[in-house]
Amino acid sequence: MAAKIYVVYYSMYGHVEKLAEEITKGASSVEGVEVKLWQVPETLPEEVLGKMSAPPKSEVPIIQANDLAEADGVLFGFPTRFGMMAAQFKAFLDATGGLWRTQQLAGKPAGIFYSTGSQGGGQETTPLTAITQLVHHGMIFVPIGYTFGAGMFEMENVKGGSPYGAGTFAGDGSRQPTRLELEQAFHQGKYFAGIAKKFKGSA
């Protein structure tokens, strides 16, 4: 039976969504894995989103907290807000109390990817502070470490991401994920899928 992986994200301007799409491709490249892309519910009203010049949401289905129980592994993606995950994603995780009480996510692998506005804007603190959510659920954090190889040591060009997971820089919103950042996202999806598949096979 195929290992079921969920890629769950929040994206206001599309940067995290692009990483999520590439991660989905990477995970889908592993045989014996079934991947589903989800976005979490928006918490801001349309009027506020309009004032923030946020584009319309994509057609990616919206996940509900209890849907997580069906996954064998989950990759969570979100933009940063002052060095931590965006409130929209935190609100989604806050709704997982029922899963926490029954520990339905315990023992399942989980990964993290993210977007920040600047180089000092939380490329490591964002995933680091998010790990607390995984710990309370008993999930097993799967970082990419330095498995991406030479791409982890890029010094000539600005590059998001870290040993914690794939990442990108949004800047003022006009910057889009680079080829290298997307390659790292693909790698994370593929790497994570391989590990989730092993967990599923040994269960």
Confidence of residue 203 (pLDDT cuts 50, 70, 90): low
The residues, ordered by sequence, that sit 6+ positions from 67 with a Cβ below 8 Å of its Cβ are 6, 38
d(CA 21, CA 3): 18
pLDDT, tens digit (0-9, with 9 covering 90-100), for 26-76: 999 999 999 999 999 999 989 999 999 888 899 999 999 999 999 999 999
Given a cut of 90, whether residue 121 has pLDDT beyond it is no
For 140-148, what is the mean pLDDT?
97
Given a cut of 90, whether residue 124 has pLDDT beyond it is yes
The residues, ordered by sequence, that sit 6+ positions from 69 with a Cβ below 8 Å of its Cβ are 99, 104, 105
The residues, ordered by sequence, that sit 6+ positions from 198 with a Cβ below 8 Å of its Cβ are none
Given a cut of 90, whether residue 119 has pLDDT beyond it is no
Asked if 10 and 88 touch (Cβ cutoff 8 Å), the reply is yes
Q: How does strand 73-81 pair with strand 84-85?
A: antiparallel
131-135 long-range contacts (CB < 8 A, ≥24 apart) are 133/93, 134/110
Average pLDDT, the chain: 95
Give me the pLDDT at residue 174, please.
86
- Closest Cα partner for 105 from 72, 75, 127? 72
Q: How far apart are the first and last CA of the chain?
A: 12
Q: Within a 10 A sphere around the Cβ of 60, how many other Cβ atoms?
A: 17
Structure-block tokens of residue 20: 């999520």
Phi-psi region of 83 (alpha: psi -120 to 50; beta: other; left: phi over 0): left
The residues, ordered by sequence, that sit 6+ positions from 200 with a Cβ below 8 Å of its Cβ are 1, 3, 72, 73
pTM of the model: 0.96
